[in-house]
Amino acid sequence: MRKRMINVLLCAVAAVSLAIPAFAAYRDVPADYWAADDIQYVTERGLFNGTGPDTFGPSTEMSRAMLATVLYRYAGSPTVSGNVPYSDMAAGAWYTSGVVWAYQNGIFPSANLERRLLYPNENVRRAEFCVMLYRFAQSLGKAAADPAAVERSPFTDMDWSRFSMAGFGPIYHEAEEAMLGWAWPMGIMEGTSATTINPLGTITRAEVAAMLARFDRNVLGGTEPTVQPTPSPTPDPSLAPTGNGYTTADGKPLTEENVRAAIVALKEIYPDGTVYPTPYCSNDPLNRSYSNCDACAGWAMLCSDAAFGDLPWKRVANPQWENIRAGDLVQFRNTPDGHVVVVLEKTDEYIKVTESGTHNKALWGGQYFKWWLEGQPDYAMQTRYPE
């Protein structure tokens, strides 16, 4: 019997639990979700953990520090020592061992190995994680790229100019080898359409789970479950839509994770830089947050309606940072007309958002720091969470 190589736990927060729960249906991963089988696979084998007892957070984007830690644990969390050249790593950070291991074993792309800044909290692109997984497979003697596959790939968005214009030129050749010469022909990374593979899109927990599951099956030959599946729990009738305003627009329990998922789902319809319908006025024109239905206000209301439906709005001036949640609208006046953004996630230091760019284009992955926001005129929040 082949010995199982590793026990990996991945979490989207710095403080992680090492317990591996028995698999049960995550309420934010429907049975027909594209990655549902892969999420079940990695959960049953302890390769991935949820973000809570019954949530997985499939749309949550992942940072460089998180992914270095994932592969470090995949390697069995070996003892590490020594230093790294990165000056932006916090002393004693939760990800220190993973980063030291990744640096010393050449897991990061060359550009990350050669510079003095790691940007550990930066969300990782699909191309970069593919390079990291490829480098890991090489360290096990389990990867060899096929140059012929690079030549026959159908993906038109895998080109030098696209990488260069986005500032990722230094990793282009490594990404081409890893993605087109190894991950794609091995079935580890799939295209996002018949002719695209979205190399510069940020990678989500669901995508990482899918790639780990395929890597485990296709490259390592598969591993046996460490925990047995348990029957899905009997639905709690209290979570059914009741019309009392405590569910999301699609009838799910009104949690931050479900709100975030509903908004991020719009990314499939309006990818980064896509023009969205404008003007857009909220579902309740007599009780909406903004009278202007164009530009940033229109996009903010569209996102909010997708998550909250017809729930009423409440404006909070100078909100307390701890009260800001996914789906809330944060506004400020750094221009004569002001600006509003939609919160996707929050840390102690900043919020990640979606917002409208120029010419009514949806933008994803923006970041605003707490210290900056709290110093802006007309800093306020529009929320639709019931008290």
Per-residue model confidence (pLDDT) at position 251: 80
- Identity of residue 308: F
Q: Which helix (H) or strand (E) element contains residue 315?
A: strand 314-317
CA nearest 29: which of 17, 47, 43, 16? Answer: 43
**pLDDT in single tens digits along all 387 residues of the chain:** 333 343 333 333 233 333 333 344 688 888 888 999 999 998 888 777 777 777 888 988 899 999 998 888 888 889 999 889 999 998 889 899 999 999 999 999 999 899 899 999 999 999 999 999 999 999 999 988 899 999 999 999 999 998 998 889 999 999 999 999 999 999 999 998 899 999 999 999 999 999 999 999 999 887 777 654 443 444 444 333 333 445 888 788 888 988 999 999 888 888 888 888 878 877 655 566 676 777 888 899 999 988 988 788 889 999 999 999 999 999 998 777 789 999 999 988 889 999 988 788 899 988 899 999 998 999 999 998 886
DSSP state of 387: -
Q: List, as one string, the DSSP characters of 25-80.
A: --TTS-TTSTTHHHHHHHHHTTS---SBTTB--TT-B-BHHHHHHHHHHHTT----
Q: What residue has token string 């996914």?
A: 326
> What does each C-alpha distance from 24 to 36, 108, 210, 231 come to in angstroms?
11, 33, 17, 7
Q: Write the single-letter amino acid at 268.
A: E
Q: Would you list the DSSP string of 20-31?
A: -PPP---TTS-T
CA-CA-CA-CA dihedral for 319, 94, 208, 342, to nearest 10: 10
User: 185: burial class by Cβ within 10 Å (0-12, 13-18, 19+)?
Assistant: middle
Tell me, what's the pLDDT at 283?
64
DSSP secondary structure letter of residue 204: B
Q: Maximum Cα–Cα distance for the chain, whole Å?
A: 68
In a 13 Å sphere around the CA of 15, the CA atoms on its Cβ side amount to 2
Whole-number pLDDT of residue 4: 39
**Nearest-angstrom CA–CA distance, 239 and 330:** 28
CA distance 37 to 150: 28
Amino acid at 212: L
Distance CA 142, CA 140 (A): 5
Question: Contact, 201 vs 8, CB < 8 A?
Answer: no
Six token digits for residue 241: 């839509």
pLDDT on residue 226: 64
Q: How far is CA 52 from each of CA 58, 188, 193, 267, 337, rounded to the nearest angstrom?
A: 12, 27, 32, 24, 40
Cα(261)–Cα(15) distance, rounded to whole angstroms?
A: 22
Contact 330, 369 (CB under 8 A): no
Tokens standing for 345? 């996630």
Q: Quick one: pLDDT at residue 252?
A: 84
pLDDT on residue 13: 29
Q: Report helix angle 36-44 to 205-218, nearest 10.
A: 70
Helix, strand, or coil (residue 175): helix
**Angle at Cα 50 formed by Cα 93 and Cα 89, nearest 5°?**
15
CB atoms within 10 A of CB 287: 10
